[in-house]
Amino acid sequence: MKSKTSRGYLLNTVIVVVLFIGFQILTSLKGSEGSFKLVIVPSIWQCCYLMVLAASLNLVLGFMGQLSLGHCGFMAIGAYTAALLSLACERAGLFENKSDLSFLLVLIASVLAAGILAALLSFLIGIPALRLKGDYLAIITLGFGMIIINIINNLPFCGQDGLAQGSAAASLYKNGLGFGSKAKVQFLWFALVVTILSLTLMFMFVRSKYGRAIRAIRDDEIAASASGVNTSYYKVLTFAYSAFFAGVAGALYSCTNATLSTSSFAFTNGGILNSTFVVVMVVLGGMGSLTGSVVAATIMFFVNYQIKNGAWVEHLPASVSGVFEYPMLVYALVLIIVILFRPKGIFGSYEFSLQNLIPDIRRARERRKAAKAERKEAQAHG
């Protein structure tokens, strides 16, 4: 049993490293090509932060069973923390351009600071909010998501449109975290490393004693408490852990984008970054499956990208392409279809793993066969 898990870890590590090196070779070969530089690399960046964001919400929503509707608020905190910190470092003269070694240190510090500040704020909200249950938590987090946007808007150094206007925007773009397309290729490895590390840390969390405790809370809070699980403690801890990675996702976001604007994290935002949109990703992937969240984030990014940029959209009749002007309608349809036909999401609570892939498929097929036979028998008996 034990050797099997360690073999699984080894297998996963080897595959991740091989894929990573493959990517590096690809990047160095095609790094200067137009479509690779302008389309594929930015897409990978976006997928990276969406994966981390969806997986982090899954900890709270899927594994702990608490509905949080303000996840993008934590992401906004992370994005602004990272952007402002890197700008401050640049003004202080800690680095001159992005090839400096000191810039790498600033980058790492910004990502960490983004996560830590988001986690700290989630503590403040989580301690009173998580004593409440169900709908109340949803309402409080929904309110938080809106309030934090207003707070950032009213901070003197962020402004109404955030760092999008004036000299701050230009310097963020050039000198702070905002990466141009060349820098995105140059730092692609960093996005991949941060994503892999974040996902690994979340996997370790749900596999650990903590993961078992929060799944117990999801299934039955009274029984969990009677089994000696300190439910309030674990709820606040998981909320903060999840917010940490939402903050990290925010830092990646501020690297991806040339400008920062609070409206892109707002609840009313019709784009891809919206707290409900993240919920859709988690439900689509399967509540309680981190690999499901990763897959769903990629799918939703692709859908979003195709709706907005796909060449085929132009060839559609006007009535259909008219709907695409309102992407939220499409996401709502996706959510309804998922709930109707596959309420558990793509993966349910199943975790994809290469090592177990073949035996799992075999087992699933056997189960389906058994269910079919049972149904037949039931029919035969009337």
Partner 1 sequence: MLEVNNLNVFYGAIHALKGISLTVGDGELVSLIGANGAGKTTTLHAISGLLPIASGSILLDGKELQKIPSHKIISLGLAHVPEGRHVFARMTVEENLRMGAYIQRDQKSIQKNLDKVYEYFPRLKERWKQLAGTLSGGEQQMLATGRALMTDPTIVLMDEPSMGLSPLLVKEIFSIIETLHRNGITILLVEQNAKMALAVSDRAYVLETGTISMSGKAEELANDDRVRKAYLGA
Contact 129, 140 (CB under 8 A): yes
Cβ atoms < 10 Å from Cβ of 310: 14
The footprint of partner 1 on residues 288-327 (CB under 8 A) is 288
- Which positions from 150 to 189 touch partner 1 by CB under 8 A, shown as an x/- string? ----------------------------------------
- Using the rule CB under 8 A, is 96 a contact of partner 1? no
Contact 167, 255 (CB under 8 A): no
Q: Considering the complex, what minimum distance in angstroms separates the CB of residue 364 from partner 1?
A: 15
Stretch near partner 1 under the rule CB under 8 A, chosen from 36-44, 145-153, 212-220, 300-308 = 212-220
Nearer of residues 63 and 277 to partner 1, judged by Cβ: 63
Question: Tokens in use for 259?
Answer: 């400008």
- Using the rule CB under 8 A, is 359 a contact of partner 1? no
Q: Which residues contact 91 (CB under 8 A, 6 or more apart)?
A: none
Nearest-angstrom CA–CA distance, 192 and 90: 24
Q: What one-letter code names the amino acid at 28?
A: S
Q: Considering the complex, what minimum distance in angstroms separates the CB of residue 219 from partner 1?
A: 4
- Using the rule CB under 8 A, is 216 a contact of partner 1? yes
| List 96, 100, 220, 374, residue binding partner 1 (CB under 8 A) | 220
- Using the rule CB under 8 A, is 97 a contact of partner 1? no
Q: Which residues contact 118 (CB under 8 A, 6 or more apart)?
A: 74, 75, 77, 78, 81, 243, 244, 246, 247, 250
Burial of 344 (0-12, 13-18, 19+ CB in 10 A): middle
Nearer of residues 30 and 215 to partner 1, judged by Cβ: 215
Question: Tokens in use for 272?
Answer: 């891809």
Contact 257, 80 (CB under 8 A): no
Q: Name the CA dihedral angle for 366, 372, 373, 376, rounded to a multiple of 10 degrees.
A: 180
> How is the chain split among helix, strand and coil, in percent rounded to 5?
80, 0, 20
| List 112, 170, 200, 218, residue binding partner 1 (CB under 8 A) | 218
Question: Tokens in use for 107?
Answer: 């980058």
Nearer of residues 70 and 292 to partner 1, judged by Cβ: 292
Q: Which residue has the tokens 């699980």?
A: 229
Which of 242, 231, 148 is closest to 140 using CA atoms? Answer: 148
| List 57, 142, 229, 279, residue binding partner 1 (CB under 8 A) | 229
- Using the rule CB under 8 A, is 356 a contact of partner 1? no
- Using the rule CB under 8 A, is 230 a contact of partner 1? yes
Nearest-angstrom CA–CA distance, 239 and 139: 15
Nearer of residues 91 and 367 to partner 1, judged by Cβ: 367
| List 212, 299, 352, 356, residue binding partner 1 (CB under 8 A) | 212
Q: Considering the complex, what minimum distance in angstroms separates the CB of residue 359 from partner 1?
A: 14
Nearer of residues 91 and 363 to partner 1, judged by Cβ: 363
- Using the rule CB under 8 A, is 62 a contact of partner 1? no
- Using the rule CB under 8 A, is 228 a contact of partner 1? yes
- Which positions from 17 to 56 touch partner 1 by CB under 8 A, shown as an x/- string? ----------------------------------------
Contact 234, 217 (CB under 8 A): yes
Contact 268, 254 (CB under 8 A): no
- Using the rule CB under 8 A, is 1 a contact of partner 1? no
| List 8, 215, 335, 360, residue binding partner 1 (CB under 8 A) | 215
Q: Considering the complex, what minimum distance in angstroms separates the CB of residue 229 from partner 1?
A: 6
| List 25, 222, 358, 380, residue binding partner 1 (CB under 8 A) | 222
The footprint of partner 1 on residues 273-292 (CB under 8 A) is 288
Q: Which residues contact 102 (CB under 8 A, 6 or more apart)?
A: 94, 95
CA distances from 166 to 157, 169, 184, 227 (A): 11, 6, 23, 57
Q: Considering the complex, what minimum distance in angstroms separates the CB of residue 228 from partner 1?
A: 4
Nearer of residues 363 and 372 to partner 1, judged by Cβ: 363
Q: Give the CB-side neighbour count of residue 253, counting CA atoms within 13 A.
A: 29
Question: Which residues of the chain form contacts with partner 1 (CB under 8 A)?
Answer: 209, 212-213, 215-216, 218-220, 222-231, 288, 349
